[in-house]
């Protein structure tokens, strides 16, 4: 990994507007918040603050919980762990050497010993050195030992996704690589409220979990977040907008692209889109998806990651199998191209709202 | 040029000489005196605390003498330095000996049973019995062990039974691991032995993490010991483990079994430095190197290592030198890459069991008839266990879907039902009678 690139990126991220790029989405704050959560009190938070708040709660509630990774001690390059070292001590919130396979292996060991590990991989693009530890070790620990050892109390936090100018190694969405690994749980929040709930759920879950956090939302996404502890269920998709004509499926930042597309489709084409945030990549909520598609008969799946073997393929195959007689048009996948994630061409690479809207037109006229 | 070389060689010789004088002390690295700048002019670079020099110097690997190998007994089983005699009682020494013999005997039979096609795979421990037993004897049962795959002796010492070993190799319904892994991938919660996995070195940073978690527990009296071969030490995970253990101050003994070979690759093609121990100082880790064919040397050094690790909350790199007498595994014929004569030396004169046997003879603790009877009894037990274990049913095939997660998720329940239906329709095709129902 290139530290120099990273520091440039970080300094860029601190400035809200960057001349050559602009955000490809409009943030839609969470509206379907259960009243129970709100009753405990809420606070306006952006996503890094919500994540910070979740980890604060986790460290407070569980004395064995540890938070570690590269540059986590001073608050993290995205500020997610800010003030936590001061509050909980440097034996609980600490920097590791710069080595992802070490971070992952160390986290597994902490969890083997029964303690709670919250490990940060600085960018999803740099999770690959830890791939062996995550795929061959963490995911298979319980299975291969006949259940006598496990590393269920570990969670990886991993910033992912497009950020406007991250190019090849600060933009990737590697969820599909991990979706192919039995034993893991993989989730992607769409904003602050979900990020806190999912992170707390993953930390408490008895299986190794990966939370891919779309980093472009760290500052851009702001909404009311309950101040108390709460859990957002893993494996459960959220229907964010009801509709009868087409089901739009996405996760992470792309959910907001799809919400805007649904507005455009309504206004320009008088098409009612149902927008589903898949939330959980593994295990994923087939029931919610299948029910929605049986109702609408048309589907668009959209993700930033490349098309071929992206997680959209799995969803499409399952829909085809379960909803064959209900489909009125071929399932469409609007995704990143099968190229590395480019720098100056990012506006042409992303599955933006216009590409999604064109797909809607095609699918309606099929 | 040749003059300079000679000087270097001479100074090296002097250094080695001084090591032999201090052989019982911890290895001390030669501090070079560069002499051109006064010592009170230190550099202020954050990355290293070091003096300046005014001439470019290359530090050659040969400038540092090899880390010496601690031993207590010579090849004849004679204690070289009486102060190093661990003075273990007859009972303990006999347990050490018998556990080594038991491991050796079990290995021979299970190796043969693989050749006969009765189990699918096996890996022996020939020549490394002393490093297993000597180290295990110096530890407490509560200490957590992470292994590679050639550490069955640690389990023998801790009380893993012949039944448990053989059941694992057969993957039958009595196997703790539920028949999911290849033979010799043992694990035991009760014996604090973390289940073995095939990917090399992955256990190393894990052991470090577990040690960190132990350190944080109140009044911690547990350490972690992580075994690995010298080949595995070339993996990136080994580097990660050394560096994390050092920077995060973890009470872990990183125990390298340097047996000279990684499958066919000799250690000369594995590294150029002074073995694995030579890396310790570079990571800022205390280091020990011992004769791994000398059970007392391993025992003494491990006792000392354990004390240090627990007292200081710091790691140790521990290198036990040995020779892999057996083939790498049942899938390997090692005479393809080394001579039978070379193997024979290590299988007789330099063998850990024969050394301890000689020691016991001088003590009057070795009774030939008793030991022959013991070996015969172990053989009988293992053979009997093989016939019992191979008749035991395998676990219910539905267990294939269990343990992936803490609870079986919906999609796996459906896949299990799908297979259930399929098997019902094609039951003749599947070996159902060998599996529990």
Number of folded domains in chain B? 2
State the Cα–Cα distance between residues B294 and B75, nearest whole angstrom: 9
Contact yes or no for B195 and A145 at CB 8 A: yes
- Helices A286-296 & A311-322, crossing angle to 10 degrees? 60
Q: Position of tokens 């009486």?
A: B82
Q: If DSSP codes are grouped into helix, strand and coil, which group holds residue A163?
A: coil
Chain A from 10 to 69: CB within 8 A of any B CB: 64, 66
Q: If DSSP codes are grouped into helix, strand and coil, which group holds residue B305?
A: helix
- What value of ipTM does the predicted structure carry? 0.93
Residue B58 lies in a domain: no
| Mean pLDDT score, B190-211 | 98
Asked if A100 is an active-site residue, the reply is yes
Chain A from 113 to 172: CB within 8 A of any B CB: 113-115, 117, 129, 132-133, 136-137, 140-150, 152
Instruction: Suggest the residue from A59, A73, A111, A113 to mutate for an interface test with chain B (most B CBs closer than 10 A).
Output: A113
- Lookup: tokens for B349: 């004169």
* A238-365 and A37-226 share a CATH fold: yes
State the Cα–Cα distance between residues A86 and A39, nearest whole angstrom: 30
DSSP B360-400: HHHHT---HHHHHHHHHHHHHHHHHHHHHHTTSPBPPGGGG
Contact yes or no for A113 and B210 at CB 8 A: yes
DSSP state of A126: G
Residue B72 lies in a domain: no
The minimum CA-CA distance between B42 and chain A, rounded to whole Å, is 26
Instruction: Say which of A97, A150, A235 has its CB closest to residue B244.
Output: A97
Asked if B379 and B428 sit in the same domain, the reply is no
Burial of A16 (0-12, 13-18, 19+ CB in 10 A): exposed
Contact yes or no for A108 and B209 at CB 8 A: yes
pLDDT per residue as tens, chain A (366 positions): 455 555 555 554 554 433 344 689 999 999 877 777 878 799 999 999 999 999 999 999 999 999 999 999 999 999 999 999 999 999 999 999 999 999 999 999 999 999 999 999 999 999 999 999 999 999 999 999 999 999 999 999 999 999 999 999 999 999 999 999 999 999 999 999 999 999 999 999 999 999 999 999 999 999 999 999 999 999 999 999 999 999 999 999 999 999 999 999 999 999 999 999 999 999 999 999 999 999 999 999 999 999 999 999 999 999 999 999 999 999 999 999 999 999 999 999 999 999 999 999 999 999
| Residues of chain A positioned with their CB less than 8 A from the CB of B212 | 66, 106, 109-110
φ, ψ (nearest 5 deg) of residue A21: -125, 155
Q: Position of tokens 């990966």?
A: A210
**Domain region containing B403:** 397-434
For residue A274, list its beta bridge partners.
A247
Task: Give me the half-sphere count of Cα atoms (radius 13 Å) on the Cβ side of residue A121.
Answer: 35
The minimum CA-CA distance between A183 and chain B, rounded to whole Å, is 5
> Catalytic site residues of B?
112, 198, 328-329
- Among B18, B126, B130, B23, smallest CA distance to B75 is for B130
The pLDDT value given to residue B42: 78
Burial of A50 (0-12, 13-18, 19+ CB in 10 A): buried
Q: Position of tokens 């547990």?
A: B222
Determine how many CB atoms are found less than 10 A away from the CB of residue B181.
Answer: 22
Q: Do residues A146 and B403 make contact, with C-beta atoms less than 8 angstroms apart?
A: yes
Residue B360 lies in a domain: yes
State the Cα–Cα distance between residues A239 and A220, nearest whole angstrom: 22
- Spatial neighbors of A43 by CB under 8 A, at least 6 apart, are A224, A225, A227
Distances (CA, A) of A4 to A9, A12, A96, B122: 9, 12, 18, 49
Instruction: Say which of B197, B210, B244 has its CB closest to residue A112.
Output: B210
Q: Position of tokens 């992936």?
A: B404
Instruction: Say which of A133, A146, A183 has its CB closest to residue B404.
Output: A183
Instruction: Suggest the residue from B171, B206, B217, B398 to mutate for an interface test with chain A (most A CBs closer than 10 A).
Output: B206
Asked if B407 and B298 sit in the same domain, the reply is no
Q: Does A321 touch chain B (CB under 8 A)?
A: no
Q: Do residues B222 and A76 make contact, with C-beta atoms less than 8 angstroms apart?
A: no
pLDDT, one tens digit per residue, over B166-185 is 999 999 999 999 999 999 99
- Lookup: tokens for B223: 């350490």
Domain A37-226 has CATH 3.20.20.450: no
Asked if B343 and B421 sit in the same domain, the reply is no
The pLDDT value given to residue B37: 53
Tell which phi-psi region holds residue B346, choosing left (phi > 0), alpha (psi between -120 and 50) or beta: alpha
State the Cα–Cα distance between residues B179 and B168, nearest whole angstrom: 7
Tell which phi-psi region holds residue B192, choosing left (phi > 0), alpha (psi between -120 and 50) or beta: left
Tell which phi-psi region holds residue A71, choosing left (phi > 0), alpha (psi between -120 and 50) or beta: left
The minimum CA-CA distance between B242 and chain A, rounded to whole Å, is 10
The minimum CA-CA distance between A4 and chain B, rounded to whole Å, is 18
Asked if B229 and B321 sit in the same domain, the reply is yes
φ, ψ (nearest 5 deg) of residue B187: -165, 150
φ, ψ (nearest 5 deg) of residue B232: -60, -25
Distances (CA, A) of A182 to B101, B405, B406: 41, 8, 12
Residue B11 has pLDDT above 60, yes or no: no
- Lookup: tokens for A100: 């992802």
Instruction: Suggest the residue from B155, B198, B398, B405 to mutate for an interface test with chain A (most A CBs closer than 10 A).
Output: B405
Residue B16 has pLDDT above 50, yes or no: no
- Dihedral sign, Cα of residue A17, residue A19, residue A20, residue A22: positive
Asked if B243 and B301 sit in the same domain, the reply is yes
The pLDDT value given to residue B40: 65
Residue B210 lies in a domain: yes
The dihedral over CA atoms of A256, A258, A259, A265, expressed in degrees to the nearest 10, equals 150
| Residues of chain A positioned with their CB less than 8 A from the CB of B177 | 144-146, 148
Contact yes or no for B247 and A96 at CB 8 A: yes
Asked if B205 and B296 sit in the same domain, the reply is yes
| Mean pLDDT score, B13-19 | 44
| Mean pLDDT score, B212-238 | 97
List the domain boundaries for chain A: 37-226, 238-365
Q: Does A283 touch chain B (CB under 8 A)?
A: yes
Asked if B403 and B428 sit in the same domain, the reply is yes
Asked if B238 and B123 sit in the same domain, the reply is yes
Domain covering A238-365 in this structure, CATH number: 3.40.50.920
Instruction: Say which of B224, B403, B411 has its CB closest to residue A143.
Output: B403
Distances (CA, A) of B270 to A54, B254, B289: 46, 18, 18
| Residues of chain B positioned with their CB less than 8 A from the CB of A99 | 236, 239-240, 243-244
Asked if B331 and B408 sit in the same domain, the reply is no
Where residue B151 sits, what CATH number does that domain have? 3.40.50.970
Instruction: Say which of A107, A109, A140 has its CB closest to residue B207.
Output: A109
Catalytic residue among A100, A175, A223, A274: A100
Average model confidence (pLDDT) across chain B: 92
Q: Does A317 touch chain B (CB under 8 A)?
A: no
The minimum CA-CA distance between B47 and chain A, rounded to whole Å, is 14
Contact yes or no for B411 and A286 at CB 8 A: yes
Tell which phi-psi region holds residue A76, choosing left (phi > 0), alpha (psi between -120 and 50) or beta: left
The minimum CA-CA distance between B237 and chain A, rounded to whole Å, is 6
Instruction: Suggest the residue from B209, B236, B244 to mutate for an interface test with chain A (most A CBs closer than 10 A).
Output: B209
pLDDT, one tens digit per residue, over B259-285 is 999 999 999 999 999 999 999 999 999
């Amino acid at each position: 990994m290139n530290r120099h690139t990273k520091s440039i990126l970080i300094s860029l991220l601190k400035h809200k507007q960057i001349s050559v790029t602009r955000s490809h989405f409009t943030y839609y704050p969470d509206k379907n918040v259960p009243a129970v959560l709100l009753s405990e009190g809420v606070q306006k938070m952006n996503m890094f603050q919500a994540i910070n708040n979740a980890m604060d709660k986790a460290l407070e509630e569980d004395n064995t919980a540890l938070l570690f990774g590269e540059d986590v001690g001073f608050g993290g390059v995205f500020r997610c762990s800010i003030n936590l070292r001061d509050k909980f001590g440097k034996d609980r919130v600490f920097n590791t050497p710069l080595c992802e396979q070490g971070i992952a292996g160390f986290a597994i060991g902490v969890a083997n010993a029964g303690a709670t590990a919250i490990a940060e991989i600085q960018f999803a693009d740099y999770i690959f050195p830890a791939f062996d530890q995550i795929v061959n070790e963490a995911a298979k620990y319980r299975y291969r030992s006949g259940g006598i050892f496990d590393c269920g109390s570990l969670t990886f936090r991993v910033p992912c996704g497009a950020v406007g100018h991250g190019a090849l190694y600060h933009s990737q969405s590697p969820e599909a690589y991990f979706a192919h690994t039995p034993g893991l749980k993989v989730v992607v929040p769409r904003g602050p409220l979900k990020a806190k709930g999912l992170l707390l759920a993953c930390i408490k879950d008895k299986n190794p979990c990966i939370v891919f956090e779309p980093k472009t939302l760290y500052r851009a996404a702001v909404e009311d977040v309950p101040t108390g502890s709460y859990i957002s269920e893993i494996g459960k998709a959220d229907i964010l907008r009801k509709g009868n004509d087409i089901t739009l499926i996405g996760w992470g930042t792309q959910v907001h692209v799809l919400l805007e597309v649904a507005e455009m489709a309504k206004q320009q084409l008088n098409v009612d889109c149902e927008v589903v945030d898949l939330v959980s990549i593994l295990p994923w909520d087939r029931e919610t998806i299948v029910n929605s598609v049986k109702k609408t008969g048309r589907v668009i799946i959209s993700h930033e990651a490349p098309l071929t073997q992206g997680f959209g393929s799995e969803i499409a195959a399952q829909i085809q199998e379960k909803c064959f007689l209900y489909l009125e048009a071929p399932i469409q996948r609007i995704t990143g191209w099968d190229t590395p994630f480019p720098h100056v061409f990012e506006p042409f690479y992303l599955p933006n709202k216009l590409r999604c809207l064109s797909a809607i037109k095609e699918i309606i006229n099929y | 040029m040749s003059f300079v070389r000679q000087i270097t060689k001479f100074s090296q010789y002097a250094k080695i000489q001084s090591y032999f004088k201090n052989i019982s002390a911890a290895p001390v690295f030669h501090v070079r005196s560069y002499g051109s700048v006064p010592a009170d002019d230190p550099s202020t670079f954050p990355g290293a605390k070091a003096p300046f020099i005014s001439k470019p110097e290359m530090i050659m690997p040969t400038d540092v003498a090899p880390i010496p190998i601690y031993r207590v007994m010579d090849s004849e089983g004679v204690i070289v330095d009486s102060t190093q005699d661990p003075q273990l009682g007859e009972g303990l020494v006999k347990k050490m000996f018998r556990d080594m013999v038991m491991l050796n005997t079990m290995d021979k039979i299970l190796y043969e049973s693989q050749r006969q096609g009765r189990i699918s795979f096996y890996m022996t421990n020939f020549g490394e019995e002393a490093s297993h037993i000597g180290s295990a004897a110096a530890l407490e049962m509560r200490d957590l062990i992470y292994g590679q795959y050639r550490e069955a002796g640690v389990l023998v010492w801790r009380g893993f039974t012949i039944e448990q070993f053989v059941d694992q190799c057969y993957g039958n319904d009595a196997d703790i691991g539920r028949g999911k892994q290849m033979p010799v991938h043992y694990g035991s919660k009760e014996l604090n032995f973390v289940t073995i996995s095939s990917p090399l070195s992955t256990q190393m940073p894990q052991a470090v993490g577990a040690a960190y978690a132990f350190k944080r527990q109140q009044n911690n009296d547990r350490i972690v010991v992580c075994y690995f071969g010298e080949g595995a030490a070339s993996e990136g995970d080994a580097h990660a483990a050394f560096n994390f253990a050092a920077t995060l101050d973890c009470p872990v003994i990183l125990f390298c079994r340097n047996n000279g070979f990684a499958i066919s690759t000799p250690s000369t093609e594995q590294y150029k430095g002074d073995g694995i121990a030579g890396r310790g100082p570079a990571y800022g880790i205390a280091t020990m190197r011992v004769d791994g064919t000398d059970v007392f040397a391993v025992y003494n050094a491990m006792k000392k290592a354990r004390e240090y690790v627990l007292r200081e909350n710091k790691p140790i790199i521990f290198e036990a030198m040995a020779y892999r007498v057996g083939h790498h595994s049942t899938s390997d014929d090692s005479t393809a890459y080394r001579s039978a004569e070379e193997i024979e030396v290590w299988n007789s004169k330099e063998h850990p069991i024969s050394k301890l046997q000689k020691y016991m003879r001088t003590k009057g603790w070795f009774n030939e008839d008793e030991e022959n009877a013991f070996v015969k009894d172990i053989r009988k037990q293992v053979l009997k266990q093989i016939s019992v274990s191979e008749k035991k049913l395998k676990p219910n095939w539905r267990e294939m879907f269990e343990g992936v997660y803490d609870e079986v998720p919906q999609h796996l329940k459906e896949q299990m039902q799908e297979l259930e239906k399929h098997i019902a329709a094609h039951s003749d095709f599947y070996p159902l009678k060998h599996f529990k129902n």
